[in-house]
Chain A
Amino acid sequence: MTRSASLRRSLRYLGRNKMLVIGCVMLVVPVVCALAAQWLAPNDPGAQTLIMRLKPPAWLGGDPRFLLGTDGLGRDILSRLIYGARVSLIVGLTVVAIGGTFGTLIGLVSGYVGGLFDAIVMRVVDVFLAFPFLVLALVVMALTGPGLGNVILVLGFTSWVPYARVARAKVLGLKEREFVEASQALAAGAWRVMLRHVLPNIFSSIIVIASSRVATAIVSEATLSFLGLGVGATTPSWGASLSDGRTYLLIAWWPATLPGLAIMVTVLAINLIGDGLRDRLDPRLKS
């Protein structure tokens, strides 16, 4: 099959998978904002104009300099939304990268090696599942203090369990299959077997989990901000803006509602992409 034929086939498939397409289209705006924030943002997202606090969006009688109005410190909401796309996507992607890599590796090794190591890992997984996530997050955030890096670490290292479980289950299933047995018979190294033969086989499942987890991470960041343990006062994240803005909801709807909408649209887009990918990658669903 030539390259162009394969491309054409993919495109045709994409055309059939409407969720994937709609999700991708919806995600264009936040991704562009994240990549080109410094050129798109009309104002410095951190600049405070105290006398311009809580000005409504321009078309509702606000100041033309602040198209979407200002927040409680007189900062430009539009600029903060644009920079916030960067923060939120970084949070979503790195959390999944950390949790996904760590979890997959643990699950892979655990399933492959088996025995005592597997038993111990599974007990740790059980403890993690039975332990209220929030307590862990609150304690760790209290110790490390607010900050983007700390939020990512907390969310990352509390999200590895589902990957580990899925990876392990898949490995256990694959272990019995012939081609793995064959490579073992050829005395290929354990790591090589895992990376060459096992990993590609579980990749689609991992991608499906990961795509929904990106969205969860973005919402979790907002929740941590609500509990006072977020990225901190200066980072222009959607979650922090939403959480700070909620104080003024009764007198000014825009500082909380606009970042809320941004989160909603982005998370929706990522979820649609996740669903689309699942239909595409989950072989059981191929009709």
Chain B
Amino acid sequence: MKRTILAVLAALLLLVAPSSLAANPGELVIAVEALGDHLDPHRAPGNSAHALMALFDGITRLDKDGNLAPSLASSWEAISDTTWIFNLQQGVKFHNGEEFNADVVIANLERMSDPNEPRASYSFDVFAGWRKTGDYQFEISTVAPDPLLPARMKNFFIAPPSMLGNPKSDDFNRHPIGTGPFKFVEWIADDRVVLAANEDYYLGAPQFDRLVFRAIPEASSRVSELLTGGVDIVTGLQPEFIGLVDSNAGTRVVTRVSPINEVITLRTDVEGPLQDVRVRQAMNYAVDFDTIISTLLSGYAHRYATVVHPFVLGFNPEVEPYPYDPEKAKSLLAEAGYADGFSIDFDITPSVGGTNNIEVAQAVVAYLGQVGINVNLRVHEYGVMRTLVYGDRSGGPMIRWQWKTWDNDPDGIFYGMFHSKGTGTFNNDPVTDEMIIAARFNLDQEDRARIYGELQERVKEQATHIFMYYTDSIYGLSDRVTWEPRIDERLYFYQATLND
């Protein structure tokens, strides 16, 4: 008996002794909360986008600051209000040696628009048609003038003809082939995606050999791995950990503002006090977001007036955030006939709203309580919440939600959360609708910027939301890595370098 125990102990010690925690030279390891469910670039996106961006190229792309840049299309132009010509890169080869050309693009567009699969993109409604106009040129026509068409093409990842049979998603899961800077090596579901440098990348090979995405769901396990050198980059760091990561030898923190707009939707499509604009304005005056930001968010968030970041097209610096003014809130409520306040339901899920969102919601509830609004906070599981918002829309009059600004352009957020046909809209203001449409089908960027400038005044005054803030995305980095985060929070490592 005793001998057995000793033997077991000895074996354990052997295992424990010199475990190799140090990083492998030439290998960059990124820890994310979850990997995606598949590697088919044309299917409904999960969290796969990061690996897909390394494996595939889009027709266009956004640079790290969110500006549109050439990718598989080297140039493009609108030859009429509704027709665009794209000129393609020549000499691009897929990882398996297949040639890239206009036929390949057309074949990809056909597969991507198949309504029999949950799709990665729903932009196809604006397309009137597409056709090949040369070996390295194709044309897309739209149903109306679409200023965002070239930006939409960034989501169109191009796969080689040999993989386009439908349905053959599983081929992608086993061995995806693209033109991107990294080639597929291995995918172990919920564990890791391993990629290798594509030495023949048409823009030149990446500086390092292997790129590994690891799924580590528990936040403190991710940070622990960074601190001990098990991984090189962690995402979604909480502000509380900045000091720890910065003071640890060999790691540091980088931040970048997030393009996600944090709001509380105030529904006017259901009977109740929120149908009075004065009540909605009062609620905007009632909450002290500056204090919330400096305490609960450790200062890593920024107050702004509506949902247009300073770096987004049409940002209007003259529209200022609602100041914290509880007296004004009370008098507006009194004017509206709610001097004694009212009670209201507030729906929220922990998964939407970024850092400490439940705590922030509790603070908002407390502030609204101080002006007499008795808010009943209801916390939901994510899927249930999504059904409340996008499905049967049976949520309460107050909904905590967020929406990302894509392409540094406010069309998506304005249409999605303010236009009466938007998937995330719970209000109906014909004036707002009209302005959004005027900017949407308009190829004159200056005119669009002007309209969005006015739109910010309009939506602030309408106060169909409690406008909150946008946060900073915080990343922990090993000192061996040189890398800059992208504004759209996608993880892209072609330009990253390792100094081993």
Q: By the criterion of a CB under 8 Å from any partner CB, how many residues of chain B are at the interface? A: 26
**A247-B358 CB under 8 A given contacts A141-B381, A142-B383, A145-B380:** no
Chain A nearest CB from B136 CB (Å) reads: 51
For the complex, is A73 an interface residue (Cβ under 8 Å from B)?
yes
CA distance A53 to B238 in the complex (A): 14
Question: Which of B223, B359, B377, B380 is in CB contact (< 8 Å) with A250?
Answer: B223
Which residue from A143, A247, A249, A251 sits with its C-beta under 8 Å from B384? A143
Contact of A142 among B220, B356, B378, B384 (CB under 8 A): B384
Over the window 355-399 of chain B, the binary record of Cβ atoms lying under 8 Å from chain A Cβ atoms (1 yes, 0 no) is 010110011000000000000011111011000000000000000
Choice from A141, A229, A233, A250 contacting B220 with Cβ under 8 Å:
A250
B340 touches A (CB below 8 Å): no
Binds A, one of B158-166, B200-208, B239-247: B239-247
Enumerate chain B residues within 8 angstroms of A248, measured Cβ to Cβ: 240
Kindly state the separation between the CA atoms of A73 and B357 in the bound complex, as whole angstroms: 12
Whether A233 lies near B295 (C-beta < 8 A) is no
B220 touching A228, Cβ below 8 Å:
no
B241 near A251 (CB under 8 angstroms)? yes
Q: Are B240 and A232 in contact (CB under 8 A)?
A: no
From B295, which residue of chain A is reached at the shortest CB distance? A50
> Is B350's CB within 8 Å of the partner chain A?
yes
Residues of A within 8 A of B358 (CB): 233
**Residue among B238, B296, B377 making CB contact with A50, cutoff 8 Å:** B296
| C-alpha spacing A72/B362, complex, angstroms | 13
Count of interface residues, chain A, beta-carbon cutoff 8 Å: 23
Chain B interface mostly: helix
Nearest residue, chain A, Cβ from B291? A50
Q: Are B219 and A247 in contact (CB under 8 A)?
A: yes
Asked whether A247 lies within 8 Å of B238 as measured between CB atoms, the reply is yes
Q: A145-B380, A251-B244 are in contact. Are A53 and B295 (CB under 8 A)?
A: yes
In the complex, what distance in Å separates the CA atom of A109 from the CA atom of B72? 73
List residues 58-77 of chain A with CB under 8 A from any CB of chain B. 72-73
Say yes or no for B445: interface residue by CB 8 A criterion.
no
| Smallest Cβ-Cβ distance to A51: which chain B residue | B295
**Please, how many angstroms separate the alpha-carbon atoms of A221 and B291 in the complex?**
33
* Complexed CA–CA distance, A142 and B350 (Å): 12
Q: State whether the Cβ of B423 lies closer than 8 Å to any Cβ in chain A.
A: no
Give complex CA distance A175, B380 in Å. 49
Confirm or deny: B24 has a beta carbon within 8 angstroms of a beta carbon on chain A: no
In B411-460, which residues have CB < 8 Å from any A CB?
none
In the complex, B343 has a CB within 8 A of chain A? no
Are A251 and B240 also in contact (CB < 8 A) when A73-B359, A142-B384 are? yes
With A73-B359, A234-B362 already in contact, the answer to whether A145 and B379 are too (CB < 8 A) is yes
B contact residues around A250 at 8 Å (CB): 220, 223-224, 227, 241, 244
A141 to B379, CA, bound (A): 11
Across the interface, name the chain A residue whose C-beta is closest to B347.
A145
Please, how many angstroms separate the alpha-carbon atoms of A72 and B220 in the complex? 15
Q: Which residue of B lies closest to A229 (CB)?
A: B381
* Closest-CB distance, B44 to chain A (whole angstroms): 21
Kindly state the separation between the CA atoms of A143 and B223 in the bound complex, as whole angstroms.
32
- Residues of B contacting A51 with CB < 8 Å? 295
Which residues of B sit under 8 angstroms from A142, Cβ to Cβ? 380-381, 383-384
B381 touches A246 (CB 8 A): no
Which A residues are in CB contact (< 8 Å) with B240?
54, 72, 247-248, 251
Interface SS majority for chain A: loop
Docked Cα-Cα span, A233 to B223, in Å, equals 24
- Asked if A146 is at the interface (CB within 8 A of a chain B CB), the reply is yes
Of the candidates B220, B243, B291, B381, the one having the most CB atoms from chain A within 10 angstroms of its own CB is B381
Contact mask for chain B residues 210-241; partner A; CB cutoff 8 A; 1 contact, 0 none: 00000000011001100100000000001011
Q: Measured between C-beta atoms, what is the minimum distance from A157 to chain B in Å?
A: 19
**Given the complex of chains A and B, what is the CA–CA distance between A246 and B222 in angstroms?**
13
List the B side residues contacting A228 at CB < 8 Å. 350, 381
CB contacts (< 8 Å) of A249 on chain B: these are 220
B229 to chain A, nearest CB (A): 15
**Is the pair B295, A247 in contact by a Cβ cutoff of 8 Å?**
no
What's the Cα separation between A247 and B241 when bound, in Å? 10
Q: Which residues of A contact B362 (CB under 8 A)?
A: 48, 73, 233-234
Establish whether residues A247 and B350, one from each chain, have CB atoms under 8 Å apart when the complex forms.
no
A89 to chain B, nearest CB (A): 24
B358 (CB) vs chain A CBs: closest residue: A233
Instruction: Determine the chain B residues whose CB is within 8 A of the CB of A73 once the complex forms.
Output: 296, 359, 362
Query: When the two chains form the complex, which single residue of B219, B224, B379, B383 contacts A146, counting CB atoms closer than 8 Å?
Result: B379
Name the B residues within 8 Å of A53 (CB-CB). Answer: 295
Q: How far is the CA of A73 from the CA of B360 in the complex (A)?
A: 10
B296 neighbours in A (Cβ, 8 Å): 50, 73
Mask: chain A, 99-129; 1 = CB below 8 Å from B; 0 = not: 0000000000000000000000000000000
CB distance from A17 to the nearest CB of B (A): 30
Q: Chain A residues near B295 (CB, 8 Å)?
A: 50-51, 53
For the complex, what is the distance from the CA of A142 to the CA of B244, rounded to whole Å? 35
CB distance A145 to B241 under 8 Å? no
Q: How far is the CB of A69 from the nearest CB of chain B, in Å?
A: 14
| Cα A233 to Cα B380 with chains together (Å) | 11
Contacts of B224 in A (CB 8 A): 250
B359 to chain A: closest residue by CB: A73
Closest to A147 in B: B379
- Are A145 and B378 touching (Cβ within 8 A)? yes
- Residues of B within 8 Å of A234, CB to CB, are 362
Q: Is the CB of A232 within 8 A of B379?
A: yes
Once bound together, how far apart are the Cα atoms of A53 and B297, in whole Å?
A: 11
Cβ of A247 and Cβ of B220 under 8 Å apart? yes
Chain A residues closer than 8 Å to B381, beta-carbon distance: 141-142, 145, 228-229
Give complex CA distance A249, B295 in Å: 19
| A residues in contact (CB < 8 Å) with B | 48, 50-51, 53-54, 72-73, 141-143, 145-146, 228-229, 232-234, 246-251
What are the 9 closest A-B residue pairs judged by CB atoms, nearest first? Answer: A50-B295, A142-B381, A233-B358, A251-B244, A249-B220, A146-B379, A142-B384, A250-B220, A73-B359
A selection of 8 A-B contacts at a CB cut-off of 8 Å is A48-B363, A73-B296, A142-B383, A143-B384, A229-B381, A233-B359, A234-B362, A250-B223
- Other than A250-B227, A250-B244, give 12 A-B pairs with Cβ distance below 8 A: A51-B295, A72-B240, A73-B296, A142-B381, A142-B383, A145-B380, A229-B381, A233-B358, A233-B362, A247-B240, A250-B223, A251-B244
